[in-house]
Amino acid sequence: MYIRNAVVTSELAIRMAVESVRDKNILPDIELNITRYYSYEDESSLSAIETFKMVESNVDAVIGDADTDLTRASASITSLFSIPQCSAASGTFSLPDRDAYPFFFRTVGSITTHAYALGAWMKNMGWQTFSLLYSADALGDRVADILSDQGEQYGFYYAQSYRFSHATDESIEQALTELNRSGSRIIILAFSRPYQQVNVLRKAREMGFMSKGWVWMVADDLADNFLQNIKDDDDGDAVTAYNGLMYISTLWNLTGLPAFDEFQAKWRQQPVPSDYSDPSNWTTTSLNYGAAQAYSCLELLTLGINKALDQYSGGREKGLQDLASDTFNTSSMTPMFYNFNYSGPAGNLTFTDTGDLQKGYFQVFYLQNGIAVPYANIKIDSYESINDRIIYPGNTQEKPSDIAIHQYINPTPTSPLGIAILIVCSVGLFFCLLMAILIFLHRHLKPIMISSPVFCYLQLLGISMCYITLILLVRQPTPATCVSRQFLFCMGFAFVVGSIIAKNYRIYKIYQNVFTIRTSRLKSTYLLRLVGIFQIFVVVPLAVWNIVYRVEVVSYQLFQTDFCWVCEYPTAENGQWGRFNLAQMFVLIWLFLLILTACFLAFKTRDVSSKWSETTQIAYVSYNLIVSASVMVPGLLLGNDYYDISLYLYVSSLMFGSTFTLITIFIPKFVIISRHILQNSKKINIYRMNSDSQNQMSVHSTNSMDQNIQLNLVAKNMYDFTVQAHEGILPVKKMAKFDFLSIWTLKHVVLVPFKKYFILSEKSGENATVYHYVSCEPALVGSTNHFTFRVRTDKSMYFLFQVYDRESLDRWVSWFNRDPSTERGISPNVVRNNNDNNNDPDDSPISPDRAAVKMPKNESATFGNMQSEMLYNSSTPSLQQNSSIPQSYPTSFSLSRSAKQGPVGTCSINSPYASYVSNSNFEVSGAPHVTSPYTSFTTSNPNFGRGNLPSNQQNSFGVINENAWQRYP
């Protein structure tokens, strides 16, 4: 239908042009003859035959064909014979080929001519960037070159360009995904095959890009082909889904141009051809089939012949003779020969060397419900708006931006997340600074000294570095802040965890063996070196990575309008996974191992909180750090597409971990220091007042308990048997084949030389094990300050015991090596007295004088808080009201049982163990009488044991500053 109408209207326009030439007397000495030759759309061979017949008839110029393929075939033949040919209908890109068709030109614009018009369109719309999707052929490359040249002229440039060799679904989807991430929103399509641009537009719709904020421009007249294709889609909304899609087409209605107005007036006076398909619209749409272009073709050819005659070698007469004899030289009549400022019904026409129009007349349309709606004309370089209402994709009249509005989700000082970070981190940094000052001023306070001020400073420094890391998130990153955040976070974390490991390691070693405090490896200087080693494994990988590779800040698109700034290393081909790299992975593994070590030490020292006030706090912090790290690490491993999730995981875990550590470790210290300052300001020793009141309360309760214990001892003494035992809490090591597998542990030791065995148990009295030993001897160790002895059991196991000094070593060795035979046959009533060691067992007990008795140095307790109390004896069977026994852990005791007649035997108490007699006042036959202050004693309680230890006993490992008592291990 279109070709038939084009043929009918073109033939009529040519006949009108012939009459115009005659009227204007353009060729006064030449008679124009117009001959119509037929071509066959379905029979290209017949069309070729007709073309050869036309050439044999000695034609001087050709206009046609209406079909693109037939035009290409005829142009190739006419070019062989140097016959000028003008096309008024074929706008295909392949025809403008200077080598294949040197004498061919056309008055209709092609897609390359459309590219020139798009430059004016971009300029008028105010867009500065665009993206081009084009086919990998001559047409696509030519459009790309023209748009690039137009961009230099009008001041716009490519944002992205994608060249398609094969427009497959995979390649189209990949290109559109990258296009979406680039933020470019003005898209121009230039494909030589219509089905390719249809596939691109369909895929864009499927991916949601045919929506608000986008502009899609097709650099060709796609209306008929495209609408027919999308109507075949199954989706009923396919037509309306492409509302706002734009394309550019040749403008035929040049109203306002004098030549066109004159031509249009004559056209409307012509009778309607019988072969025209729509006579009713003759006056409105008939010029749309290229009549003005055909009219211009004939005028151009006649003007060209007239020009050739005037310029002919030998003069016009010679040219007329050659023209009549069919020897006219047309070698100069190439497309640019016709550039003589012609202006006709098709407008001002200027040609390139390939026969294409340099500039033309175009109209810009948008689709609305499948109907093409024009909104602008582009005449040469002039943009004329003909419709103020422009519909863009998404059925909106809001003009999109050439670059998507970048809404960055990175925290800013005005965003809720940024405000929260700044508030929490500012308060945290202020408190860290305050605590550092308070700890320095009160570093000699006992609780602060126990916490080691040096490591407190390191912990505060590490927490402050973590807070600063969070603060650096609240802004657009730079390469400097990218690197700083890595170092500050990792080093701060290492300072906190390393200090916890150092302090807990010292506690753990002392808890294992109290005498290891003498070694230099537990001093702060040595442990600081340990923390320094931890930092080396953090700093070196990060430093090497950042020296080798350069960090860059890039903008990454998350959604259509959401972007984020991320730090990446684009030059790192290996070991770089988005925001995460190989060095960070190594450092995180190292930090995670440090956390596991801290948790292990916290678990091992969980029972020593009564002696070391920070162990419970450190345990809580260690366990919390492993939870925070478990939350943070998945966030670091997430890709850029999940930046928002990663950001919240990172910020929340780091902020919570830092704040929890600060509160748990340093709030108790702040309270202690505050109380200390308050007490000093009021000049009241609250601590002493509380201690006195507590002592009074404990004396009353202890007296009552001891009285009941003593009654039980007397009541259950139904037999008499003497066993000497020695007890203490000592560091013990069970020797293994490899020494590094043996560790020191504090054990409750009970030695019974008479039976040649000793008992090892936990300090709480649990997990007791009995070992029969064979020998005992002093052991040599590496340091002269270590005093150890070795015991061999009957099963050939070896145990090492460590004591405080040489004197304690000799005493324990002598106890282990005591001959059991010397203890056999000793009467239960024979007790050692400081004045008489040979009392007859049948004699009545001798009451010593009421005087103070000191405990000999060689029989003193191993550990404990020794009080300088006075022991009193009585001449009566009852104990005095004011008599008291020191409360401590004794080194030795003896159990005496008398298998005599009578319900109760005698019990002679010689040791201050567990306050068995204190402030008691009772009368019992055979009641115990204090006879000696030595550490060995006899008792009638067969259930006597370590479970009766008072709860207020303490191990302080020091020497009491009392004249009456001194402690030895």
pLDDT in tens, 194-241: 788 888 988 999 898 999 889 999 887 765 566 666 666 555 567 788
**Residue 692 and residue 688: Cα distance in Å, rounded?**
6
Query: Which CATH number is 416-661 given?
Result: 1.20.1070.10
The single residue listed with the structure tokens 């665009």 is: 130
d(CA 377, CA 361) in angstroms, rounded, equals 7
Cross-sheet strand order for the sheet of 157-164: 157-164, 129-135, 186-190, 215-218, 246-250, 361-368, 371-379, 382-385
What is the reported pLDDT for 916?
A: 34
Q: Judge whether 932 and 909 are in contact, CB under 8 Å.
A: no
- In the chain, helix, strand, coil percent, each to 5? 45, 15, 40
Contact 928, 917 (CB under 8 A): yes
Tokens of 494: 């290492």
Predicted confidence at residue 514, as pLDDT, reads 57
Comparing CA positions, the residue from 64, 119, 112, 115 lying closest to residue 92 is 112
Place of tokens 């442990």: 527
Rounded Cα distance between 626 and 285, Å, is 79
Cα separation of the two ends of the chain: 117
DSSP tag of 726: E
Q: Which helix (H) or strand (E) holds 54?
A: helix 44-56
In CATH, the architecture of 722-825 is: Roll (2.30)
Coil, strand or helix at 404: coil
Residue type, 623: Y
pLDDT, residue 430, reads: 96
Two structure tokens written together for 74 = 């005829």
β-strands 798-803, 722-734 pairing: antiparallel
Rounded CA-CA distance 397/65 in Å is: 41
Q: Structural domain boundaries of the chain?
A: 2-108+256-357, 115-251+363-385, 416-661, 704-720+828-969, 722-825
Q: Copy the structure tokens of residue 337.
A: 């020969």
Nearest C-alpha neighbor of 462 from the set 685, 678, 665, 314: 665
Are 934 and 834 within 8 A, CB to CB?
Answer: yes
Residue ranges in the chain modelled with pLDDT below 50: 611, 684-711, 713-719, 825-969
Cα distances from 687 to residues 260, 693, 775, 941, in angstroms, run 111, 10, 50, 39
Which residues face 362 on adjacent strands? 250, 378
CA 627 to chain centre: 17
Distance CA 345, CA 602 (A): 95
Interatomic CA distance for residues 778 and 561, integer angstroms: 80
Which pLDDT does position 34 carry in this prediction? 86
H-run or E-run covering 7: helix 2-24
Q: Residue 577, SS3?
A: strand
Rounded Cα gap, residues 112 and 134, in angstroms:
12
- CA dist., res. 888 & res. 914, Å (int): 6
> Which of 1.20.1640.10, 3.90.1150.10, 3.40.50.2300, 3.40.50.300 is the CATH number of 2-108+256-357?
3.40.50.2300
Count the neighbouring beta carbons within 10 Å of the beta carbon of residue 486: 22
Instruction: Determine the Cα–Cα distance for residues 306 and 299; give it in Å rounded to an integer.
Output: 11
Write down the pLDDT at residue 721.
55
**Structure tokens that stand for 335 in this block:** 């497309």
For residue 960, with 0-12 CB atoms within 10 Å meaning exposed, 13-18 middle and 19 or more buried, which class applies?
Answer: middle
Q: List the beta strands (DSSP E) in 279-409.
A: 342-344, 347-349, 361-368, 371-379, 382-385, 407-408
List helix spans (H) across 413-452.
416-441, 446-450
CATH of range 115-251+363-385; options 3.40.50.2300, 3.40.50.360, 3.40.50.2000, 3.20.20.70: 3.40.50.2300
CA 681, distance to chain mean position in Å, is 50
Let me know if the fold of 2-108+256-357 is the same as that of 722-825.
no
Return the pLDDT at 303.
92
- Judged on CB neighbours under 10 Å (0-12, 13-18, 19+), 225 is middle
Quick check: 775 and 792 in contact, CB under 8 A?
A: yes
Residue 390: its pLDDT value, please?
Answer: 93
Neighbouring C-alpha atoms within 13 Å toward the C-beta of 545: 26
